[in-house]
Amino acid sequence: MIITKGRIIKMKKMKKRVSLLLAVIMAVSITATACSSADSDTANTMPTLDSVTTTEATTTEAETTVTTTQTTAETEETTETAATSATVSSAAETTTAATWSETSMSATMYVTENCYSRVNAIVGSTPVSQYFVGDSVTVVAVTDTEYYKLDTGAFIHSDYLSDTPPVTTAATTEATTAATTADTAAAATTTASASSGGSSSNKSGDPILTPSYTVQSSSKYAYQQLNATEQQLYDDIVYAVRTLDQTVTAPSGMTSDDVYKVYTIVYNAEPELFWMGGTVSASSNFLTLSYKTTDRDEIASMQAEIDTAASAIISKANAYSGTYSKLKVIYDSIIKGAEFNMSEQGYNTSIYNGVCGGGLQCAGYAKTVEYLCGLAGIDCMVIIGTNSSSGSHAWNVVYCENGWYNLDATWGDPSNSYNSNYIQYEFFLVPDSWIHNITHYNVNTAFRSSGTAIKLFDPPSCTKESANYFTVNNKTYSTTEEAAAALYAEFDSAIASGSNIAEIRVTSSAIWDELLSDTYAVTFQKYCKSKSDSVSGLSRQTSNQSGVLVVHYDIKYN
């Protein structure tokens, strides 16, 4: 039976549930060099886009053929981007107490992680006061959005509070003061390296500084996963790139795989070094670096362009107080300014094209997200891996409000025939369980041409859902009827504004399959054509949505 819009709207709605690449796998392939060392390798970044494959599905009704595709779609973002970047966080501020219910309680609880209390009991709400590990608070209510209400009237998410005081250890103390100690240590390291020259040779002048980007290496998650010897090599590589040195001597006791690992981590974790090349010769004794340019004047000129463009993006992001909204501004800005390009030529894997506009590979998207997050004070890292076709890929893990999340800007900007305003949010702040070994494989693993797999480091686990795009925007549904009604509303809004995307998220694969079936697709297409003579058909995306369970249709116009 085909379900019509009128029937669905009459049904009682159920409550919504709230709850490529390192354009290289930094050497997906490695070829032997003429180096004298037997274990010397040259790593060439070999980008592949996990752009989405396109398949066609034809329904039994000739006049209502509905195509299935992953790469063709457009939206002018009048309903998504323009509205969302201006209202996503305002949704948190203007949707007040009516969006949650409270149950009274009385308890003394303790802060388990440094955090802020919030104006409202929803993700992205304006911060009120900062609390530190071990602080005690008086709780007067708990909400159905998993927040505790304090006697001050503000709210703290349940992830940060416990009935019992946290155990204070040396590690806890160190974590609490990490920012200060990291900056001090990094400054000392930089000074020592600058005076001693580290291990690098053939110095070509003073280090190239990037004063606009102040994130210290020692404060980064990836750096903190390395042992002391690896950190030494990391620092030496960074200093060598800043002085345009070609050769770096590896500390004794390292294998060529160790050297290769550290180089790959630097390549991913230091996005400000945009002139750094993607090819390296790595052995157990040394590595030879490559550069996109060694012209200091050119680098300075490009940095000035980056500073101007990045400043505009960060200024827009900082108009919002919530991390979610800042991330969305960053995400939208990169996607609108960039165009996916599989070629590794030029600056397609760097922040230059990512911030200033131009072709980008997955690594370029991921590094640009990382760079802008650094400027905005958001913890972020590049993660590399492969897609379902074993092509190399890169994305980000970021910290947003209540935990770590995956964010894939490349797949928010699929290669298609529509304009640059097309943005989709399937992979905007998602947990590991939605993508690991479903669409994103070999997480943070680099491969050498010999077949050796090198684990770079274990990224923090992403287990939360509350900051997911569809959760924050109340676009997640748990019944077919409710989800179909929501899609009709999405079609209405998109057609009225001339945009293309209609997408929601559902909570089960059965609902996802049903709403993307030929029966529903034909019904939806007939409905859209009846709304406007300018509508020529629908296109449904399926190839990468099965894990995130996003039902995505694109409206095509004459």
**Banded model confidence at residue 132, pLDDT cuts 50, 70, 90:** confident
In this structure, are residues 502 and 487 in contact, taking their beta carbons and an 8 Å threshold? yes
Least confident segment among 226-230, 270-274, 449-453, 466-470: 449-453
Percent of the chain with pLDDT over 90: 60
Q: Which helix (H) or strand (E) is 286 found in, with range? A: strand 286-288
Collapse the DSSP code of 51 into the 3-class scheme (helix H, G, I; strand E, B; otherwise coil) and give the result: coil
Read off the pLDDT of each residue in 167-182 and give the average, rounded to a whole number: 42
Q: What confidence category does residue 36 fall into, taking pLDDT thresholds of 50, 70 and 90?
A: very low
Q: Are 540 and 73 in contact (CB under 8 A)?
A: no
The Cα–Cα gap between 510 and 515 comes to 9
- Say if CB 48 and CB 65 are below 8 A apart: no
- Average the pLDDT over each of 112-121, 235-244, 263-272, 528-537 and give the range with the smallest value: 112-121
How far is CA 129 from each of CA 116, 126, 152, 412, rounded to the nearest angstrom?
A: 5, 10, 10, 34
pLDDT tens per residue, range 406-435: 999 999 987 776 766 789 999 999 999 999
CATH topology of domain 101-172: SH3 type barrels. (2.30.30)
Greater confidence (15 vs 472) lies with: 472
pTM surpassing 0.75? no
Confirm or reject CATH 3.30.1370 for domain 5-16+475-557, answering yes or no: yes
pLDDT band per the 50, 70, 90 thresholds, residue 67: low
Mean of pLDDT over the chain? 79
Q: What DSSP string describes 318-361?
A: TT-SSHHHHHHHHHHHHHHHEEE----STTTTSHHHHHH-EEE-
- pLDDT at residue 68, as a whole number: 65
Q: How confident is the model at residue 65 (pLDDT cuts 50, 70, 90)?
A: low
**Domain coordinates of the chain in residue numbers?**
5-16+475-557, 101-172, 176-288
Contact indicator for 466, 497 with CB cutoff of 8 Å = no
Q: Which residue has the higher pLDDT, 187 or 492?
A: 492
Which of the four pLDDT bands, split at 50, 70 and 90, describes residue 124?
Answer: low
E strand or H helix that includes residue 44: strand 41-44
Tell me the percentage of the chain whose pLDDT exceeds 70.
Answer: 74
The answer to whether 77 and 418 are in contact (CB under 8 A) is no
Q: Which residues contact 242 (CB under 8 A, 6 or more apart)?
A: 207, 208, 209, 273
Contact 473, 489 (CB under 8 A): no
pLDDT tens, 491-510?
Answer: 999 999 998 899 999 999 99
E strands in 343-444:
358-360, 380-386, 392-400, 403-407, 428-430
176 burial type by CB count under 10 A (0-12 exposed, 13-18 middle, 19+ buried): middle
